[in-house]
Amino acid sequence: MASGGGNNRNGTHRNSLKGTTTTSTASTDKPLSVNSNPSKPAFKNKSSPLTGASSGLRKSSPGSLGGGAAKDDAGVPGRVRVAVRLRPRNAEESVADADFADCVELQPELKRLKLRKNNWDTDTYEFDEVLTEFASQKRVYEVVAKPVVEGVLDGYNGTIMAYGQTGTGKTYTLGRLGEEDTANRGIMVRAMEDILAEVSPEIDSVLVSYLQLYMESLQDLLDPTNDNISIVEEPKSGDVSLPGATLVEIRDQQSFLELLRLGEAHRHAANTKLNTESSRSHALLMVHVKRTVKGREPAHSSDNGNSTSMARSLRPPLVRKGKLVVVDLAGSERIDKSGSDGHTREEAKSINLSLSALGKCINALAENSAHVPVRDSKLTRLLRDSFGGTARTSLVITVGPSPRHRGETASTIMFGQRAMKVENMLKLKEEFDYKSLARRLDIQLDKLIMEHERKQKAFEVEIERITAEAQNRISEAERNYADAVEKERLKYQKDYMESIKKLEEKWMMNQQNQGNERKEQMVHIAEEVAEVKKLLSKETSLRKAAEEEVDNLKSQLAQLKMSEALANSEILKLQKMVEDEVCQKEKLEGEISMLQSQLLHLSFEADETRKRLDRGGPGKVPGGLDSPVSQVRSQLKDSGNGEKASVAKLFEQVGLQKILSLLEAEDADVRIHAVKVVANLAAEETNQQKIVEAGGLKSLLMLLGSSEDETIHRVAAGAIANLAMNEKNQELVMSQGGISLLSTTASHAKDPQTLRMVAGAIANLCGNDKLQTKLRGEGGIKALLEIVKCGHPDVLAQVARGIANFAKCESRASTQGSKTGRSLLIEDGALPWIVQNANSDASPIRRHTELALCHLAQHEVNAKDMISEGALWELVRISQDCPREDIRTLAHRTLASSPDFIAGLKRLRIDY
């Protein structure tokens, strides 16, 4: 079917790239990082100066390419990474274009691509990586696909996609099997090698499906009969699934290669003028990786009976799921160049329509459009997670060198430039393996039951031992006590009988000897009998004490049992605390090692950056502006002396647009000299409108906010002060946040001259009646009151001028009836400073503060505050001693016309 476009291809490369060298530079070049900050966008030699890169990034919600349902968990921002790869000339181009230079020039060390428009004009673009025609397949994989594959192994979704004109090497880059030469293996084969090397066949799984999108019909390349697969979108998460696609589990690399051969044999291809085997469908390889996180798997409890360790292990294993999508897009082509007709023509139309829909979605995401037409094509529905979704995405655009296809090459380059502005929100996909947890719980439950029975038996044996020991001690104590009591009783009984016997003998003798003595002896005997009774009573109390001691021993035994139980529970608590401390220590050690590795990585990057700067040379300005910058640099140094003739000459030779563009130069000296020239030009009223129209005011404000150089702050503030002398420019300064920037500059400035310039700029803004409320609301008055801390006379003179201008505008508004209530200056606390400096030795400060007092006094509602702050005395002095007659007259008229001031003068007994 030569004209039908339905031929199956055998997986061989369609364009001759065998002439490329296989030397790899992966060891010296840094791979693409998905989460790094976006690089600067491309610029053209004939265009305006460089602009910021981050302005075009899209902060999409993590759901889909079209902004689907957002998830509750937060994501990690990751921009779409874009690399460009140049195909070498093929045999046909070498003959047909032998007399013409390539339309593409690469600068891989600067990551730039130059597209030659004609012999004199070129456009320059920047990408995340620029791969020449000599870049090896290994090099392409490491800078484009390897970071995405590593992310998939860590639980993130990832997409690798190739885009370009027919015949520029997309299938060679992605799907080359490398059967003849392993060095020619494409991204699909190399990615699967890395995945299989990281997963464990026992606990992990890798599932693969291979599909093609042909004529807006999604077909299974592994099962050709399944030619109408439906696309299902989950309403909550926005994830896209293909329930009808064939899923094959991969165990080794050989089975994966056989799967790719089978899919390539079923893929549609056709012979065109641009390519002998032109893909007529978009191929999608989907790899589903499920990995168990080994570092987070808790270990089984040991046999030491520690129940706390077993409780900590009762957590399910953590499983991470990642999906890798490798997309080999069909090549874009022009029908008049490819020579397609009949069915092949219809195929080309379908391909171009789907690529056009993808381009519209990319444009909408890059421009932060509210609507993204994701449902215009099945291709955009399948890739909704790759652009603006949750996947890490790397795009490689392939271009050819032939000048005949300059238009297609330019279109491909612009597609890559817009894709660089799309930002995804990467999300980690984790879940717990509860089945594995249940099996482990059953094992641990059996161990716990056995351990509990063993401990219960040991506990009962110990209780019996303690009880028997206590019983023996009690019995022994009772026997000892009974023996002691019996011995004492016998002793006292013996003593008692002997004493009775002696007493009887003495009584008999006394009875015989004297009758009187007999009575005394009887009394003595009675006393001894009483003493013996006392001894018997004492022995009885001792016996009771011994019985009480036995009871105390029994209670102590019970307390010992309770203490033992408390000690066991305390030991368990201490063991749990020790285990928690060990876990915390391990966690801290892991964080320390991570920080150390990051520090080493940052040090290595700093060394690499310093080496590149050393090789590039000092003072080098990017963007092809070396010669103009050198010319302006020398002239700017001459203009730093402030001579107006030199500035005017420089203005005529270089031009205002070029001078303003140098405000964003990387060289600090160039920026300083450029801002000095702009400040000198702004001093002339004829140049002020030109500077504002050319964007000079916006550039000065941005420079004031972004630079940390004191000289730039001082000169930029002076230039803004000159431009703020025009009423129209004053409104522009306020609308672009000028007050906030000037206030921030004043808070960090230490040089009095810088503060004088800032105060002068704010003072000019204070003289605009329309900006009174907004200037005060954004902190203009408070900024002036903060500046007075400097104490320098020139700075204070500018502050006084600003307050006088503000008071004059308020007085005019009060007279016209457009303002009521107290002065905003009084509400912000400026009145004490005005009164304090109204009689200053410096004439500029005194003149402006006197004028401010007179204008504040014009409004009757301010009179009470002014009297309480001592302003009445100053008004009296101004009306009598001020050297300027107009101010003296204004003060006199104000005092005479205000009832509150007249009453205050009478109360203070001032004769006026």
| DSSP letters for 208-245 | EEEEEEETTEEEESS-TT------EE-TTT--EE-TTS
CB 636 within 8 A of CB 650: yes
Q: 165 labelled as ligand-binding?
A: yes
Q: Which residues pair with 115 in a beta bridge?
A: 104, 123
166 assigned binding-site residue? yes
Name, in order, each residue with C-beta under 8 angstroms of 15's C-beta and a sequence gap of 6 or more: 87, 90, 167, 168, 169, 172, 275
3-state SS of 124-159? EEECCEEECCCCCHHHHHHHHHHHHHHHHHCCCCEE
Contact 733, 773 (CB under 8 A): no
How is residue 440 written in tokens? 């482990």
Q: Is 511 annotated to bind ligand?
A: no
Secondary structure E strands in 385-502: 392-399, 422-426, 430-432
Contact 827, 872 (CB under 8 A): no
E strands, 802-903, are none
Question: CA 291 to CA 475: how far, in whole Å?
Answer: 69
Laid out side by side, the sheet with 122-126 consists of 43-44, 122-126, 112-116, 104-107
Instruction: Please say whether the beta carbons of 227 and 216 come within 8 A.
Output: no
DSSP codes of every residue in 584-638: HHHHHHHHHHHHHHHHHHHHHHHHHHHHHHHHH-TT--SSS-HHHHHHHHHHHHH
* Rounded to 5°, angle at Cα 33 from 32 and 35: 150
Asked if 232 and 242 touch (Cβ cutoff 8 Å), the reply is yes
Q: Is 155 annotated as a binding residue?
A: no
Query: Is 78 labelled as part of a ligand binding site?
Result: no
Nearest CA to 571 among 211, 331, 304? 304
Q: Which of 100, 148, 135 has its CA nearest to residue 17? A: 135
Rounded Cα distance between 901 and 856, Å, is 13
Phi and psi, residue 427, nearest 5°:
-130, 135
Residue 753, annotated as binding a ligand: no
- Residue 164 counted as an annotated binding residue: yes
Residue 295 among known ligand-binding residues: no
Identify the CA nearest to 78 among candidates 422, 326, 430: 422
Binding residues for ATP: 164-171
Binding residues: 164-171
